[in-house]
Amino acid sequence: MHMKFMLSAIAALCLSLTSNAQCGTEPTSGTTTISANGILNSYYPGTGNPVSGATTLTVGAIDSRGSATALAANDLVMIMQMQGADFNSTNGDTYGDGVSGGFGQGYLTTNLVAGRYEYGTVASISGSVLTLQSGLVNSYFTRAFASGAIQSYQVIRIPRNFNFTLNASVTVTAPFWNGATGGVVVLDAVNTMTLNGTINVNGLGFRGGAGQQKNGATTGNSNGSTAIANTDFRFPSLASNSANATGGTKGEGISGTPNLVFASINNSTTILTGEGYLNGNVGRGAPGNAGGGSTDGQPGANGYNTGGGGGGNGGAGGIGGSGWHGGSGTVSSFPYGGHGGAAFAQRQINRVVMGGGGGAGTGNNGTTTNEFNLSGASGGGIILVRAGSFAGTGGSLQANGAAAIGLIGTGGAGQTDAAGGGGGGGTIIAVTRTSVANGLGGISASAVGGRGGDAQLYYEHGPGGGGGGGVIIATGTFSSSVITAGTSGLTRLTNNTNPVSSPYGAANGSDGILITMMNPPVFMNATFGNSACGVLPIQLQTFSAAQSSGSTVLDWSVDRAVNFAGFEVQFSTNGTDFVPLSQISFSESQLKYQYTHSGSTASVNYYRLKLNDKDGSFSYSKTLVVRTNSTTKELLLYPQPARGFTTVQVSALSRQQINIQLLSANGSKVAEKQVQLVSGSNIFLIDNLERLSSGIYTVRMRIDGKVQTAKLLINK
């Protein structure tokens, strides 16, 4: 069994919902049966910047590709922030997340708004102005490219149903994301939702970077400070500088939309005005969860074609393949393919995004009629279904990233260029309103990453990187939940007659994330408290510990909270008897917190957070276990044997992102996880080990360029 380490199961703060009257008038009987393929939601682009607590917002014109049913009073809606993640746009390995020595991918956590959403009820509508029954929980933003990363949100009408049945062989879908609306299916049933058919948002998420035939950079080309180099992380496209005729376009994602985008659902290219990413749409850096574009090994001729990076979501996308070498080099001559889009670290029940689009490969041998073959693929969209309970046999929820087209055919013929990256898997949420049997056992869910494109028309040209796996969140267990990553594309080695069998430097994406909730989520609303029309009251995003000068420093962060009072830091020397150390109030303007504990003489310390709501209810975080008597930099695992989780303690010389692998006794990889380390001591958890069989495993990771391993005994 090969799986991604799972995030911790989320415990709901309460087990039942209060009256749904605050959600408007819901149906009390009847069954809606869907017997023909179609789109059930209506979509509106959000405008302006409505703030938390506001009861009005303004929308644009209805998307004609969706349902034609217009918004009206008492309609249930979802407001969802689709884009909004600032990123570092410098031309180096700090591109994306700003981490020196990093992977040239990702986004900054400051001003990060992408992925927030909430339910709402329309009280009235006048023209394009919606008045909601209660104030917004979140603030929402729109911002065009120029002043920063693109920000956009949409408003989706959700049909009201008491019982809902999707017949077998029938598909419900959405319009593909067009930069303003689409990509999301939201369905709701007060009582039972029976899914015998398919809800499909495959390839309807963020679009890939579109392929473009280019003949090489000319005099006046620039990355903003110097002439274009084959190692650039970003530089302007032809839309800004006609001399920059080299490289491949980055994909679309939470941080922006490039000027050339490719929709996999209908193989269409859209040309927009100007750049869509700060400092340029082209180059191997991967902004947000979008795959990086390719950077050609021979900019002046655009002839040493590298592959595009895969898009990310639950897992990161894979890097694109190396470039051609003029017949005298190797795979290591021009390893400058697009980097993979980052995993969205904030994924939780109250914060989700679509799969990132793959970056485009580089091409100089095509034409305007076949340049689309170089394109990156679209990511998967979002499915969010909620009901009193579920039922059905053979139904499926599909939010897969699309596979890149690639260069397909007989070796040595025609378009001897590189391929684009696969789309990142999307997101699926299936939750119940009450604590009854969930009924998901007859339904399958899939949010896999798309495959990178092949470069098989010639040998040793760059294949595309695989898309990262998506995110599946459910109260209960599907008949199957697939979140695997997309594999990289392939090319030929040595000559055109050899098989298409080598990734040639391209990499698979990383597997996605499965979150199984222990109880139904209680959605809350800023005005009315418990309500089916809001967001979760709080989610603890991170909780970690590090040793510093004999003290233990606890760091944690949260997303926006509603009806939340604060934290109590608790301490124990035996893991059972906890005492309070400090009371820390919650502030709406503060999402990151820190507490330093000094003076403990115990060799093993235990820490947890008590999360206190204003109504008196509370819950606990995971418990962190910190050893204080270790002076070596070896990899430590405790407790041993592990049951549900193990604590990992390691030291690093610098801030870095590492990949942890868990190997079985025969050496096969059974799980993996990405972790961000800080300089000094690091403590974090590997949990959900109860999914593995009892036995001896090996934990393996590379820190500061050196491989460290440790044995882990799992005893169920």
Q: Which residue has the tokens 């995993």?
A: 343
pLDDT at 127 over 50: yes
pLDDT of 330-363, one tens digit each?
899 999 999 999 999 988 888 899 999 999 999 9
The CA distances from residue 555 to 547, 581, 639, in Å, are 11, 15, 22
Give the confidence band of 516 by pLDDT, cuts at 50, 70, 90. Answer: confident
What type of residue is 457?
Answer: L
Residue pair 241/299 in contact (Cβ under 8 Å)? The answer is no
Q: What is the pLDDT of residues 213-233, one digit of tens each?
A: 999 999 999 999 999 999 999
The torsion angles phi and psi of 272, rounded to 5 degrees, stand at -105, 170
Whether residue 19 has pLDDT greater than 60: no
* Backbone conformation region of residue 563, classed left if phi is above 0, alpha if psi is from -120 to 50, else beta: left
Which has the closest alpha carbon to 185: 34, 410, 60? 34
pLDDT digits (tens, 9 = 90+) for 375-392: 999 999 999 999 989 999
Let me know how long the chain is. 716
Tell which residue, 671, 672, 660, 667, has the closest CA to residue 702: 660
Find the helix or strand (DSSP H, E) in which 516 lies: strand 513-516
Structure tokens at 585: 């109030």
The pLDDT of residue 522 = 57
What count of other Cβ atoms lies within 10 Å of the Cβ of residue 1? 9
Of the candidate ranges 86-100, 253-267, 316-330, 509-523, the one whose mean pLDDT is the lowest: 509-523
**What tokens does 43 get?**
């979509």
pLDDT at 193 over 90: yes
The C-alpha angle with vertex 539 and arms to 536 and 542, in degrees rounded to 5, equals 165
DSSP per position, 312-371: -SSSPPPPPPPPP-TTS--TTS---PPPPPPP-TT-BTTB--PPPPPPPPPBSS--TTTG
Residue with tokens 């000319």: 218
- What is the arithmetic mean of pLDDT over 638-661? 78
46-76 per-position pLDDT tens digit: 999 999 889 999 999 999 999 999 999 999 9
- Check whether 3 has a pLDDT greater than 50: no
Sign of CA dihedral 668, 671, 675, 681: negative
Strand stretches in 602-679, DSSP E: 604-613, 618-620, 624-627, 636-638, 645-652, 656-663, 669-677
Least confident of 55-69, 94-108, 442-456: 94-108
- Residue 205 in this model has a pLDDT that exceeds 80: yes
pLDDT digits (tens, 9 = 90+) for 606-618: 888 887 766 565 6
Lowest mean pLDDT among 237-246, 361-370, 648-657: 648-657
Q: Which of 469, 447, 344, 466 is nearest to 400 (CA)?
A: 447
CA–CA separation, 605 and 629 (whole Å): 10
* CA–CA distance, 165 with 31 (Å, rounded to integer): 7
Position 492 confidence tier, pLDDT thresholds 50, 70, 90 = very high
Q: Which long-range contacts (CB under 8 A, 24 or more apart) does 616-622 make?
A: 617/13, 617/14, 619/11, 619/13, 621/540, 621/543, 621/556, 622/8, 622/543, 622/685, 622/687
Average pLDDT score over the chain:
87
Q: For 150-164, 252-266, 492-506, 575-589, which range has the lowest pLDDT when averaged over its residues?
A: 575-589
- pLDDT tops 90 at residue 625: no
- 527, pLDDT greater than 90: no
404 Cα distance to chain centroid: 19
CB burial of residue 369 (10 Å; 0-12, 13-18, 19+): exposed
Whether the predicted pLDDT of 270 surpasses 70: yes
pLDDT reported for residue 21: 40
Task: Select, from the ranges 395-399, 439-443, 518-522, 633-637, the one with the highest average predicted confidence (pLDDT).
Answer: 395-399
Look at residue 7 in the predicted model and tell me its pLDDT. Answer: 31
User: What pLDDT is stored for residue 435 in this prediction?
Assistant: 61
How far, in Å, CA of 608 to CA of 603, rounded? 17
**Residue 639: cis peptide before it, omega within 30 degrees of 0:** yes
pLDDT tens digit string along 23-52? 778 899 999 999 999 999 999 999 999 998
Q: Mean pLDDT, to the nearest integer, of 104-129?
A: 93
Amino acid at 651: S
Residue 697's pLDDT is 87
pLDDT-derived band at 534 (thresholds 50, 70, 90) equals: low
Q: What is the pLDDT of residue 427?
A: 98
pLDDT confidence of residue 71: 97
Give the C-alpha separation, 110 to 373, whole Å.
Answer: 36
For residues 271-280, give the mean pLDDT: 92
Q: What is the pLDDT of residue 146?
A: 78
What pLDDT score does 16 carry? Answer: 26
